[in-house]
Amino acid sequence: MKKKILIIDDEDVIRKALERFFGGAGYDVQLAGSGEKGLELLNETYPHIVLVDLKLPGISGVEFLRQARVKHPDLTVIVITGFGTIPSAIEAIHSGAYYYVTKPFDLEELYMLVEKAIDHQMLRKENIVLKQELRNKSRHDRMIGTSRGMQALTRLVDQVARTDSTVLILGESGTGKELLAKSMHYNSDRSAKPLVIVNCGAIPENLLESELFGHVKGAFTGAFHTRAGRFEAANNGTIFLDEIGDMSPNLQVKILRVLQDKKFQPVGSAKTTEVDVRIIAATNQNLEQAVAEGKFREDLFYRLNVIPINICPLRERRDDIPILVEHFLKQVNRLGQKSVTGFAPDAMKLLCHYRWPGNIRELENMVERLVILKSSGLIEVSDLPPTVTGGDQQIFLNDIAMPDHGVSFKNLVHDFERELILKALQKSGGNKNQAAMLLKLNRTTLLEKIRKCRLEKEVKSLTHGTGTQQTTAAGR
Ligand SMILES: Nc1ncnc2c1ncn2[C@@H]1O[C@H](COP(=O)(O)OP(=O)(O)OP(=O)(O)O)[C@@H](O)[C@H]1O
Ligand SMILES: [Mg+2]
């Protein structure tokens, strides 16, 4: 894979020289003339390293660094500074830059530094993965991910796994709740004992009680033998109660009792059974809301919620996407005896931008399908399903955040509309027909919007700026 470098400098000469040099050295080079443009490219290209000039026309290099690190905490940045701005360079280092170089710089030296910084970054990532591998041993699938969210999660598993506290795992469907529960169990002192998984949502309500607590012979029609339940099967080990939000109120009371006293009665039995079981529960529902609506017992919620662990959706930790894709690709190649070499950069970019409503499960299934269908070679954009390639909205909508103080809907929509029209006009060199086509609008609607957004002046300057050849084009 080519190493990707993003170069942000407002001086044309420097940008060009760096582009030629790093391009020649086999790098995939992206250029930006401002920090704002740099931030935009950063979210599109996920470079291995960024070179940024400290003095830029809009936001400064230090400000770029600060904003960039919010979304890309592991980003490696080298700052370039002119003579006399060393204090700002030092400030940049404090804000997380890897190193700084002063102008004029020696290209070879800069190259060595860039290579070293990338090696360093790779080592750090490998280290995290190695540690995870060690931790997860070979008993079960390992949890992959180097994003800040994943690191925090693995740290939490380390802290909590060896205790007997009840854990409540919350997260959207497919985020890895079951995998996390397994990880907890196999990293605990109970790992040699059973881990029993019960999907409370999948077992019909009338069967769930006997499934969990067992029954005695003759307890109900068809109970020909006395049978132990899952709680007994999990004795000295862990029970994972998945989809706990789907449990009926009647059973909620009984689970509460097990949590409080570690005791229960098998169906049809007057005798109490005692067990030593660690309970891990999970749900993709909002339990607090279920409590407020009277669907989930408040006392049970508090009993379960001793250590809540939230797994965030994949779209909020996109840094993990490439590494997960790589992991599943290797796995499917191995198991399916395929020889797919990887994903083309454009295809990977689309995967990184997609919303992944089904989270890691959806990603895993998609990679599996793609690898099996492709069999060998590189997976290209044309191999991807339309859900991933088709959503042009996603490129814009992924990064929207809602600040605590809210936003002005009207102003934002107006600004967005104006910006889109301006971008299309810039692309078409002021040609309104082409701009209308780019925006999939009819010409009259576009003209109306140009008026509404007061863009006439911009249109005029674009038209004049592009010379006579364009003015003969249709639609002026
Ligand atoms: N961090 C991860 N690294 C590697 N694989 C993962 C990771 N998280 C989840 N997976 C894989 O994704 C799939 C879905 O994970 P899991 O079944 O644990 O999710 P879940 O939250 O329980 O989903 P659901 O709500 O649909 O039951 C599994 O095949 C799991 O191995
Ligand atoms: Mg699950």
Distance separating alpha carbons of residues 331 and 314, to the nearest angstrom? 20
Reply yes or no on whether the pLDDT at 474 is more than 70: no
pLDDT of residue 392: 56
Which ligand approaches the C-alpha of residue 198 most closely?
Answer: 2
Distance separating alpha carbons of residues 400 and 36, to the nearest angstrom? 16
Q: How far apart, in Å, are the Cα atoms of 409 and each of 54, 400, 406, 413, 415?
A: 34, 13, 9, 6, 10
**Does the domain formed by 148-312 have CATH 3.90.1420.10?**
no
Q: What is the DSSP letter of 163?
A: S
pLDDT of residue 324: 96
| Cα distance from N-terminal residue to C-terminal residue, the chain | 46
**Ligand 1 near 182 CB (within 6 A):** no
**Ligand 1 near 172 CB (within 6 A):** no
Distance separating alpha carbons of residues 157 and 188, to the nearest angstrom? 9
Higher pLDDT, 314 or 473: 314
Architecture (CATH level 2) of domain 4-125: 3-Layer(aba) Sandwich (3.40)
pLDDT of residue 1: 72
CA 285 to ligand 2 center in whole angstroms: 12
Architecture (CATH level 2) of domain 317-397: Orthogonal Bundle (1.10)
Distance separating alpha carbons of residues 239 and 255, to the nearest angstrom? 12
Higher pLDDT, 221 or 76: 76
Average pLDDT over residues 419-432: 91
**Ligand 1 near 132 CB (within 6 A):** no
Where is average pLDDT lowest: 17-26, 108-117, 459-468? 459-468
Handedness of CA 35, 40, 46, 47 (dihedral sign): negative
Average pLDDT over the chain, rounded to an integer? 87
CA 439 to ligand 2 center in whole angstroms: 41
Reply yes or no on whether the pLDDT at 154 is more than 60: yes
Confidence tier at 472 by pLDDT (50, 70, 90): very low
**Ligand 1 near 159 CB (within 6 A):** no
pLDDT of residue 249: 87
Reply yes or no on whether the pLDDT at 449 is more than 90: yes
CA 185 to ligand 1 center in whole angstroms: 16
**Ligand 1 near 175 CB (within 6 A):** yes
Reply yes or no on whether the pLDDT at 43 is more than 90: no
pLDDT of residue 132: 58
**Ligand 1 near 147 CB (within 6 A):** no
pLDDT of residue 133: 56
Token readout for 392 is 């042009």
Ligand 1: which atom is nearest the Cα of residue 199? 27
Where is average pLDDT lowest: 90-94, 214-218, 396-400? 396-400
Distance separating alpha carbons of residues 290 and 145, to the nearest angstrom? 31
pLDDT of residue 129: 65
Average pLDDT over residues 209-223: 87
Where is average pLDDT lowest: 54-63, 87-96, 243-252, 461-470? 461-470
pLDDT of residue 475: 36
pLDDT of residue 226: 85
Reply yes or no on whether the pLDDT at 114 is more than 90: yes
Which pTM value belongs to this model?
A: 0.62
Token readout for 448 is 């109306």
Which ligand approaches the C-alpha of residue 150 most closely?
Answer: 1
- Domain positions in the chain are 4-125, 148-312, 317-397, 409-471
Where is average pLDDT lowest: 79-88, 300-309, 373-382, 391-400? 391-400
Where is average pLDDT lowest: 36-40, 307-311, 460-464? 460-464
Reply yes or no on whether the pLDDT at 396 is more than 70: no
Token readout for 320 is 């993990």
For the stretch 134-168, what's the b/e string if a residue is b when 16 or more beta carbons lie within 10 angstroms of its beta carbon? ebbeeeeebbbbbbebbbebbebbeebbeeeebbb
Q: What is the DSSP letter of 227?
A: B
CATH of domain 409-471: 1.10.10
Domains 4-125 and 317-397 share a fold: no
Average pLDDT over residues 239-263: 91
The winner for highest mean pLDDT among 5-9, 39-43, 147-151, 161-165 is 5-9
